[in-house]
Amino acid sequence: MTTLEKDLETRLAEDHHQAIKLWLRLLTCTNLITGKIRSRLRENFATTLPRFDLLAQLERHPEGLRMGELSQRMMVTTGNVTGIADQLEAEGLVRRESDPKDRRSVVLRLTPKGREVFSAMAKVHEGWVIEFFEGLSPEEKDTLYALLGRLKQHLNGRRNP
Amino acid sequence: MTTLEKDLETRLAEDHHQAIKLWLRLLTCTNLITGKIRSRLRENFATTLPRFDLLAQLERHPEGLRMGELSQRMMVTTGNVTGIADQLEAEGLVRRESDPKDRRSVVLRLTPKGREVFSAMAKVHEGWVIEFFEGLSPEEKDTLYALLGRLKQHLNGRRNP
DNA sequence: TGTCATTATTTTAAGTCTAAATAAAAGCCG
DNA sequence: CGGCTTTTATTTAGACTTAAAATAATGACA
């Protein structure tokens, strides 16, 4: 084996190792943050991340969202959304409304109480997230945001399920 | 309100929004990748991500790992590791050994069969990860890796639980 | 030696998640 | 119109997850 071949092979192996290391670090960062948010939501508001997430989606869409739309935005199955919506409905934070145009559909909306409860949590939650990322300068955050954007685009590319 | 104050306030609000957007994008990328790995592991090897993760940790530590060490590395609770180890042990992929130095401890090791099964999966898995990140150039991967390193360091900083 | 705090693992209860099966409604098309 | 496929939500079974409690063994120390 020539020196050139060895170099190529080494570089390739390093690139492969690089992707794995990058993935593990990405996963670690996400796990660290979700872990912190999860425990703080529990301690401060006696709620959970998926519940918070569902309310956050509805907050952004006052016109309401169907179960399928919610599941896409939350990146979970519709069966999962059904269960979380059941809880929040029982707690009076969301309301199921039937879509007159399509009787299969259920439209979920925040109740006034849900809007009130969520907005109190959202303010605090935003502060946590700012805190988690304040180790990076605004420029670094921009760069990270852009790189993740390229990654996301690649991951969502066609023939890439 | 003066123009300067308004500009500062606007910039601050944008920074806040920036952190939230960054966090949501980070979470999306991680979810997209874990989702792909999860479904491919199921389709190709009829196994799950936590099972794969446990085997991967053991592969890197031929001397074996205690349940507590495993839970730290996998970023899950020890109770969780117990259940996954039970399954893998029943399938003959790992073996529980008692630590002669500390009878409270259980040391988990790969069996020869476990090593064999894992190494087949690991090769394919590595290819997937390389594929997921090949939308980024090696330089971009380096930058992303470094930025996530800074983020991780900040997240692990003291008085930041 | 006996007690007590600590450490390591397991167990338990409740919540979250997926995939697959079900049921109902809508849309398509001959 | 009538049958076929698709879409939408729910239900179900099983796996994963956490937090907290229960077990069990260790180590320190009066």
Minimal Cα–Cα distance from A132 to chain B, Å? Answer: 6
Please give the backbone phi and psi of residue B80, each rounded to the nearest 5 degrees, phi first.
-65, -45
Would you say B26 and A148 are in contact if contact means Cβ atoms under 8 Å apart?
Answer: yes
**Residue closest to C25, CA→C1'?**
A104
* Consecutive H or E run containing A108: strand A106-110
Q: How far apart are CA B92 and CA B111, in angstroms?
A: 7
Predicted local confidence at residue B100, as pLDDT: 86
User: Among candidates B141, B144, B137, which has minimal Cα distance to A18?
Assistant: B141
Domains of chain B: 13-155 (1.10.10.10)
pLDDT digits (tens, 9 = 90+) for B67-109: 999 999 999 999 999 999 999 999 999 999 998 889 999 999 9
Residues 6 or more apart from B93 whose CB is under 8 A from it?
Answer: B55, B110, B111, B113, B114, B117, B118
Q: Do A75 and B34 touch (CB under 8 A)?
A: no
Q: What is the mean pLDDT of each run of 10 residues along chain A (161 residues)?
A: 56 75 96 96 96 97 96 96 97 94 95 96 96 96 97 80 51
Residue A1's pLDDT is 55
CA→C1' distance for B2 and C17 (Å):
51
Q: Which two tokens stand for residue B58?
A: 């053991």
How much is the pLDDT for A157? 82
pLDDT > 90 fraction of chain B, expressed in percent and rounded: 83
C-alpha A5/C-alpha A124 separation (Å) is 56
Task: Please name every residue paired with B107 in a beta bridge, in sequence order, or none if there are none.
Answer: B66, B97
Q: Is B26–A148 a contact, with Cβ atoms under 8 angstroms apart?
A: yes
Burial class (CB in 10 A: 0-12, 13-18, 19+), A93: buried
Separation of CA B95 and C1' D24 in angstroms?
21
Nearest CB neighbour to A25, from listed B19, B143, B145: B145
Q: Reduce the DSSP state of residue A67 to 3 states and report it.
A: helix
State mean pLDDT over B19-39: 96
